[in-house]
Structure 1
Amino acid sequence: MSDHTTLVVGASRGLGRGIAAAFAQAGAPVVAVARTASALAELAAATSGIEPHVADAADAAAPGMLIERYQPRNVIVVAGATPPVRPLHQHTWETFSVNWNCDVRIAFHWLREALRRPLPPGSRVIVVSSGAALKGSPLSGGYAGAKATERFITGYAQGESERAGLGIAFTAVLPQLTPATDLGLSAARAYAERAGQSMEEYLQQLGDPLTPQGAGEALVKLARAEAAGLAPAYRLTSVGLQPLP
């Protein structure tokens, strides 16, 4: 993958960090994008082949500028906000809509710019959504709906790529809840308490956890797969990717 420059948007923590490291270890030049300079510097120091770039992924100007500068063949969008964890009636509209105003906004701008540039034929755009898009997330406000919308608009982008003959493959990936990230750990604690279970009991129900390293390895495999065989979306668990219709 030495000629496949990969932009990882939201690379400073959690699954994004693991994905950036996995692509670099696979030989791809990686541009790690996030707002936190110290976390990016730490990532770049720990893994060769990673160039940190501090930027706000939600800035409408960022996708065009970064795509123009780095000319990536892979764009992976992982960035998003951590939702406030509370039941529906304890949300305000502002807290309920956090992920609509952040996660969906980020995905929209990056998908739009990938089509408008456009990226070169053969490029891959992977939007990391959430398994909550399939089953809901009653303690996370609008999170599940926002993540479902990320999946929808990734599919819309694939349709536009096909209509225009751009040769860009757009794919959504929906990871399972995992205590290996700060977001997942916070959610797991809240759902365990809601169910009257200990953390150990609740996590046992989830099975083997998805790790950032495992997520990264799965996405490298996805980026290497033949475009003709790609599903529009995938569920991602500790055992790997499972295609969704």
Structure 2
Amino acid sequence: MSDLSGRTAIVVGASRGLGHGIATALAQAGAPVVAVSRTPAEFPDAGVGSVRTEIADAGDPRVAADLLDRHSPEVIVVVAGSVPHMRPLQQQTWETFSANWESDVRIAFHWLREVLLTPLRPGSRVVVFSSGAALNADGSPLSGGYAGAKATQRYITAYAQGESRAAGLDITFTSVLPRFAPSTGVGRPAVEAYAARAGLEVDDFLRHHAPLLTPEITGKAVVDLVQADAVDVAPAYVLNGTGLHALS
């Protein structure tokens, strides 16, 4: 996987934020990239690779099956999900509380299932983005079911790795749990809500979490991950401003 030229990568949730940074970095590393999102996205100066956009609902299981059949990718990165409703428990409704289960977990489930059913060719890599919130002892108390949903994404990615191993598919699955990325559509509302709860200005709150994660750092980390030897890839990583850190 050290050379990504000619190795198609699908990035699910590529229109903005971390997904956009990942799609751009993979293209710059030479991969033909299929950028999947609900809304159009622009990728100027993508580099030696190319970026083709596919406007689609990643939560529709037919989309995963169709795109895998049409593009035969060797790299899949699932970043898509919804922005959590930043309110304490008593100010949530069941619909807002469960939103990330109905989007993030559903998307991961459909794509992992289709990867195993297709299956992707031996040596392929699948990276699912969870969240550092899944590791917090108290979850993420201002974001409804977000932390639980992101933990479940990590679990089912591990389940998929077990099925790949049992079937001798030679597909490597790993999950990435990013910390605060305040420039993104998910990260900024979370930062603002938790800063307000702590009685801090946003800048003061962020100083406690430096160095901060950016789409550019994320893109480089994913390129490094999919280029690494499969035997060296951990089941899960925390990702922060200093890069990837393997979880035991």
8 Å Cα contact 1:180/1:209 also seen in 2? no
CA deviation after TM superposition for structure 1 residue 3, in Å = 2.0
**Partner letter of residue 196 of structure 1?**
G
Cα distance in 2 for partners of 1:180, 1:173 equals 18
Counterpart for residue 227 of structure 2: 224
* Structure 1 residue 65 corresponds to structure 2 residue 80: no
Q: 1:244 aligns with which of 225, 242, 247?
A: 247
**Partner letter of residue 155 of structure 1?**
A
Q: 1:20 aligns with which of 9, 20, 23?
A: 23
Secondary structure in 2 matching 1:182 = coil
**Partner letter of residue 123 of structure 1?**
S
Cα distance in 1 for partners of 2:233, 2:28 equals 23
Q: 1:166-219, CA deviations, whole angstroms, 9 ceiling, x for partnerless residues?
A: 000000000001212121111101101000011111000011111101000000
Cα distance in 2 for partners of 1:146, 1:66 equals 25
Identify the structure with the greater helix proportion: 1
Pairwise mapping of residues 45-64 of structure 1 onto structure 2 (< 5 A)? 45-48=44-47, 49-64=50-65
Cα distance in 1 for partners of 2:129, 2:25 equals 15
Counterpart for residue 177 of structure 2: 174
Cα distance in 2 for partners of 1:197, 1:236 equals 24
Counterpart for residue 203 of structure 2: 200
CA deviation after TM superposition for structure 1 residue 46, in Å = 4.5
Cα distance in 1 for partners of 2:191, 2:75 equals 31
8 Å Cα contact 1:63/1:113 also seen in 2? yes
| Normalised TM-score (structure 2) | 0.96
Cα distance in 2 for partners of 1:24, 1:46 equals 9
**Partner letter of residue 179 of structure 1?**
P
- In the alignment, structure 1 segments of 5+ residues that lack a partner are none
Counterpart for residue 134 of structure 2: 133
Q: 1:2 aligns with which of 2, 5, 13?
A: 5
Counterpart for residue 118 of structure 1: 119
Q: State the superposition RMSD in angstroms.
A: 0.8
8 Å Cα contact 1:19/1:213 also seen in 2? yes
Cα distance in 2 for partners of 1:87, 1:72 equals 41
| Normalised TM-score (structure 1) | 0.97
CA deviation after TM superposition for structure 1 residue 233, in Å = 0.3
Counterpart for residue 81 of structure 1: 82
* Structure 1 residue 29 corresponds to structure 2 residue 32: yes
Cα distance in 2 for partners of 1:183, 1:77 equals 15
Change (3 A) 1:84 1:46: farther
CA deviation after TM superposition for structure 1 residue 47, in Å = 2.3
**Partner letter of residue 47 of structure 1?**
A
**Partner letter of residue 232 of structure 2?**
G
Deviation >2 Å, runs of 4+ = 45-48
Cα distance in 1 for partners of 2:183, 2:164 equals 34
- What is the aligned length? 241
Secondary structure in 1 matching 2:147 = helix
- In the alignment, structure 2 segments of 5+ residues that lack a partner are none
Secondary structure in 2 matching 1:127 = strand
Cα distance in 1 for partners of 2:46, 2:122 equals 29
8 Å Cα contact 1:15/1:211 also seen in 2? yes
Q: 1:110-141, CA deviations, whole angstroms, 9 ceiling, x for partnerless residues?
A: 00000000000000000011100101211000
Counterpart for residue 168 of structure 2: 165
Identity of aligned residues (%): 57
